[in-house]
Structure 1
Amino acid sequence: MTLTAALLAYVLAASLLTVTPGVDTALILRTAALEGPKRAAMAALGINAGCLLWGAAVALGLGALLAASELAFNILKWSGAAYLLWLGLQMLLKPRSEFSLTSTAEEERHGQLGWFIKGLLGNLLNPKVGVFYVSFLPQFVPAGYPVGSFSFALACIHVLLGLFWAAALILATRPLATFLRRGGLVQWLDRATGSVLLVFAAGLALAKR
């Protein structure tokens, strides 16, 4: 496989995987719709920072540990499932009753940092990302290229695709902001997202290497 063919095949495959709905999409859409584009952008940055760190781990050979060690995989798997469960229950049991389009500077800073951390942890605590990278990325490394560094470059491409997709999601939800002053809709969206996160938590808990 030539370099050009490998990159084209990878971009196509990674693009399809990026737009496939998952927990990251749910978090970005919910945050964009209810918290505003700045906080949604921070959540997206956190999610993609997690992907970048996983890419670096795979390049350094650490990702192979998750593929080989059942104990390491299970520890990270249950930590991630517990984190998603906690996020989902927070939204499901304590939905907000209203949405405000304005916020103080302190709330804005804390909100943005909080959603960055949520996005980051949601990815770092998901061992399936590491196992996916260690099994998926090497397939697109052309002959004669170093697997570690080229795999990290592919992970960087995946992160760029993820950022573009997150921006598209945020822009798509922005026109809905005027409808979000309705308390009932805010509660419904919080509970719906919480339910989705619980489903993903269960899926992660049942995942196998």
Structure 2
Amino acid sequence: MSDIQIVSFVAASLLIIIVPGVDFALVTRQTVRYGRRAGFVVLAGLFAAALVHATLATAGLSALLVSSPRLYTAVRIAGALYLLYLGGTILWATRPRRTTAAQPVPVAAGTAGGGAPAPDAPPVEEPAVTAAEDRHVARRSFVMGITSQLLNIKVVVFYVTFVPQFVTPGAGAAARTAVLAATFIGLAVLWWACYIMLIDRLQPWLTRPSVLTVIERLTGLILVVLAIRIALSH
């Protein structure tokens, strides 16, 4: 493989990686809402799924899936339904709710005249995120990443059609395919790691209620639109 081919592959890979898609929506949403740890867990799921796709493509099994109309359609519809579920869930959670009239707040024990806490009262602390909730977020983030990527038929097609363009047929073709797939995955991980750190730096602004609501609704809408596009594609 010549230097020009290597440069062309890296340039084309970076262009494909930075184009917004399902991974962009999920990484952004989870990082903004739950912090960079959740973002990196989504990335771990994407990475695991990418390894599966790369392995199947290197072994020639992805080509069999693409060449089988029934298998191709089954994966495509399953991926579309999963994205529709994710997008619909997010949109439902951010739906406008009817507010009720404010009720009078009872005077808490240990307060002076219903105002500030008494001098000897313990300070009121905000409820912390429990370990169970943290594990739930991490588990859900990983499932989002790996499932959406495994069921993304466009990723399957990418490994079958894009990578082989830079591989010369013959002895060692499988090894060269594996190296190129690993290079692509490495570039993607590096890009998403930098992106997650950037979003984390902006989190104090992005987590403002009005901004967060917009991000949530946009994420849900993007996932639903992508689901419809995938379902209608051939």
- Which residue is 1:4 aligned to? 3
Please, what is the CA RMSD of the aligned residues?
2.1
Tell me the distance in 2 between the aligned counterparts of 1:151 and 1:109.
Answer: 36
The percent of aligned pairs where both chains have the same amino acid is 33
Larger radius of gyration: 2
Letter in 2 for 1:36: G
**Residue 45 of structure 2: aligned partner:** 46
Does the aligned pair in 1 maintain the 2:26–2:144 contact within 8 Å?
no
Q: Which residue of 1 aligns with 2:104?
A: none
1:201 equivalenced with 2:227 (yes/no): yes
Q: 1:170 — aligned with what?
A: 196
Q: Which has the higher helix share?
A: 1
Distance 1:102 1:133 in 2: 43
TM-score under structure 2 length normalisation: 0.81
Give the Å deviation of 1:67: 2.2
5+ unaligned residues in a row in structure 2: which ranges? 97-125
**Structure 1 unaligned blocks of 5 or more:** none
Change (3 A) 1:87 1:142: same
- Equivalent residue of 1:45, what SS? helix
Alignment partner, residue 37 of structure 1? 36
Q: Match for 2:160: what amino acid? A: V
Structure 1 range deviating more: 2-11 or 19-28: 2-11
The 3 A distance-change label for structure 1 pair 94 and 48 is same
**TM-score, normalised relative to structure 1:** 0.90
Give the distance between the partners of 2:134 and 2:93, measured in 1 at CA: 21
Deviations 1:26-81 (A, max 9, x none): 11111111110000011011112211111100111111112211111000000000
Pick closer, same or farther for the CA change 1:37–1:158 going to 2, 3 Å. Answer: same
Residues 33 and 207 in structure 2, CA contact (< 8 A), matched pair in contact too: no
CA contact (8 A) 1:96 1:186 kept: no
- Structure 1 181/14 Cα, relative in aligned 2: closer, same or farther at 3 Å? closer
- The number of equivalent residue pairs is 205
Output aligned runs, 1:96-175, within 5 Å. 103-142=129-168, 145-175=171-201
